[in-house]
Amino acid sequence: MELDELYREAILDHARHPRNFGELEGSDRSASATNVGCGDAIRLFLRLSPAGRIEAIRFSGSGCAISTASASLLTLAVQGQSSEEAQALSARIQRLLTGTSAPQDDLPGDLAALAGVRRFPQRVGCAMLSWHALEEALRGPEKSPA
Amino acid sequence: MRPPEELRSDFPALSQAAHGHPLAYLDNAATTQKPKAVLDAVRTFYEKDYANVHRGLYDLSVRATEAFESSRRRVADFLEASSPEEIVFTRGTTEAINLLAFSAGRSLLRHGDGVLLTEMEHHSNLVPWQMLGASGIRLHFLPVEDEEGTIDWNQIEELAKKHRIRLLAFTHVSNSLGKVNPAAEICARARSLGLLTLVDAAQSAGHQHLSVREMGCDFLAFSGHKMCAPTGIGALYGRRELLDALCPYQTGGEMVTEVRLDRSSWKAPPHRFEAGTPNIGGAIGLRAAIDYLQTVGLDAVEKHASALAAYAAAGLASIPGIRILGPCDHRAGIVSFVLEKVHAHDLVAFLDQEGLALRAGDHCNQPLLRKFGLAATARASFYLYNVREEVDRLIEAVEKTRRYFAG
């Protein structure tokens, strides 16, 4: 089935058993992103080390399998990264999903599984949701939520 | 009613395939497909009778004006309004309610007045009223008590007295629950308390027999595109003396009598509310849609869609982990549901692969879904051309999706 390309085994696994799910005690940054089209909302919490590396990261919220799996994969991938490295990875994911770069197999962890989203443009927003929250969180300390 | 299998052939879009399956279009609460009779009427109008309306003294413009105004008369008949002057053409329900909220906020309602809504309103019958907050007009809500969509309409009296309510605006049929509200009974109750009423008929117009006379409402809004007509055309019905009392909404050409550099005066309704060149072709299409639907028979359309929804709800209920929203009895042609552990978006992505077109999301009903602890549901909505075989495919595909995600 065509959809097996979208819902690859790694995506289904992370959607069923999201890693780093829940709020992070003692986070110093957080940001949320919502997909107005479907009501999905994801909130990322992270703690930076004195050297500015992502020391801990978790996420909460509710979303479809694609947005949940993408967030779960994100938390594994950026752990220990500097702000710049994480932002560069986010930009790579964006290029991967929008088809402006070829699917790469050197992406960390199971991130390459997100390449299946390329053929479903209506789902790119789902996959990018947590990455937008990451960029927002890395831009600065949390603004008080509205 | 002609059998739905036969009616389908009137709709060119329904004969296509989707992902290798016959398209099962089950998103009729969002918009409906168009019969050939409507497409032909619009095309013929543009080919033979098209010019701007109310302006030209030449024959073509006279014909276009006559066609446009005859569409207004047709809508007035359709709604059983007292006269065509009670029909204002709009882009659809959303614009009709924006028009009413804007104009009523300036001419019928005063600072400190209240507007009463229900918790099941579509955003388009909520947000325009929120905009009146700046004028000191407060909103109050009749609560939805359960997932069946129960509202205790007895509360109108207490709320009306407590909050100086002047207007009650409510949906006739809930677009996410399929709940049918007893409009005539509600309007009678509101009238006895001196309240004005607006009925949001977006989901009921063209889906059942409608009569503003029988309903006893003061205003009613509907969209053409949800009843076989083109997009961009709909109407606001308003009782003549109330429309007379309303200030204009949009202004400009066509709605004025005398214009000076510093002031202008307005035409009488309905033209007072129709600034600029209207959607003439849309109005022609709407007339053809009404003709088509009345030939099919609106009572039969209602019965058919409602029976399909009941059949779908019963079939879906046998799937483990499913939660079906909406009334157990007397459901309009709408079934919203959620499947445990499968997000509505993932669900409809799978259904799409089976050729089934369903909507997933908040259905412009965020406050209601939030109350139920939901962010999104999948929704199947039926119309005159849907058949039981499509419902069987839906039930089977939902079960297949459940098994896929259960792993």
pLDDT digits (tens, 9 = 90+) for A108-124: 888 989 988 988 888 99
Is residue B228 domain-shared with residue B377, that is, in the same domain?
no
Place of tokens 């309602």: B109
CATH of the domain at B22: 3.90.1150.10
Higher-pLDDT residue of A141 and B355 is B355
Kindly report the pTM of this predicted structure.
0.94
User: Across-strand partners of B197?
Assistant: B168
Pairing relationship of beta strands B114-118 and A29-35 according to DSSP bridges:
unpaired
- The mean pLDDT value for B237-257 works out to 96
B350 close to A (CB below 8 A): yes
Same domain, B176 and B230: yes
Read off the pLDDT of residues B308-331 as tens digits, 9 standing for 90 and up.
999 999 999 999 999 999 999 899
Active site residue B217: no
Residue B84 shares a structural domain with residue B144: yes
pLDDT tens per residue, range B130-159: 999 999 999 999 999 999 999 999 999 999
Q: Is the predicted pLDDT of residue A62 greater than 90, yes or no?
A: no
Q: The complex's ipTM?
A: 0.84
Examine the pLDDT at B224 and tell me if it is beyond 60. Answer: yes
pLDDT at B35: 98
Q: What CATH number should be reported for the domain holding residue B177?
A: 3.40.640.10
Domain A2-139 listed as CATH 3.90.1010.10:
yes
Same domain, B262 and B357: no
pLDDT over threshold 80, residue A37: no
Handedness of CA B158, B162, B164, B169 (dihedral sign): negative
pLDDT, position B255 = 95
Q: Is the pLDDT of residue A100 over 80?
A: no
Last residue of a domain, which of B265, B294, B323?
B294
Q: Which of A64, A117, A126 to mutate to test the interface with B (most CBs of B within 10 A)?
A: A64
The Cα A66–Cα A128 span in angstroms is 9
The answer to which of A102-111, B61-70, B272-281 has the lowest mean pLDDT is A102-111
**Residues linked to residue A40 through DSSP beta bridges, in sequence order:** A35
Q: How far apart are CA B279 and CA B254, in angstroms?
A: 13
Question: Percent of chain B having pLDDT more than 70?
Answer: 100
Quick one: pLDDT at residue B225?
98
* Residue A38 near chain B (CB below 8 Å): yes
Nearest residue of B to residue A37, measured between CA atoms: B361
B364 min Cα distance to partner chain A (Å): 10
What is the pLDDT at residue A5? 84
B364 touches chain A (CB under 8 A): no
Tell me the pLDDT band of A1, cut-offs 50, 70 and 90.
Answer: low
Across the interface, do A65 and B405 touch by the CB < 8 Å criterion? yes
| Last residue in a domain, options B294, B309, B340 | B294
pLDDT for A146: 41
- All residues of chain A having their beta carbon less than 8 Å from the beta carbon of residue B346 are 7, 64-66
Q: Residue A143 pLDDT more than 60?
A: no
Number of folded domains in chain B?
2
Q: How confident is the model at residue B197 (pLDDT cuts 50, 70, 90)?
A: very high
Please name the residues in contact with B137: beta carbons below 8 A apart, sequence gap of 6 or more: B105, B109, B110, B111, B112, B113, B114, B115, B129
Angle at B72 between CA B69 and CA B77, to 5 degrees: 130
> What does the pLDDT read at residue A145?
47
Task: List the domain range (segments joined by +) for residue B319.
Answer: 4-30+297-406
pLDDT band at B296 (very low <50, low <70, confident <90, very high): very high
Mean pLDDT of chain B, nearest integer:
97
Which residues in A lie closer than 8 A to residue B366 (C-beta atoms)? 39
Same domain, B147 and B288: yes
Q: Tell whether B228 and B258 lie within a shared domain.
A: yes
Interchain contact B406–A (C-beta under 8 A): no
- Which one, of A59, A69, A51, A53, lies nearest residue A31 by Cα? A59
Residues B217 and B339 in one domain: no
Domain boundary among B294, B315, B345: B294
> Is pLDDT at A104 greater than 70 in this prediction?
no
Angle between helical axes of B298-316 and B388-406 (0-180°, round to 10): 30
In the predicted structure, residue B200 carries a pLDDT above the cut 70: yes
- The shortest CB-CB distance from A12 to any of B343, B362, B407 is to B407
Mutating which of A1, A13, A38 best tests the B interface, going by the most B Cβ atoms within 10 A? Answer: A38
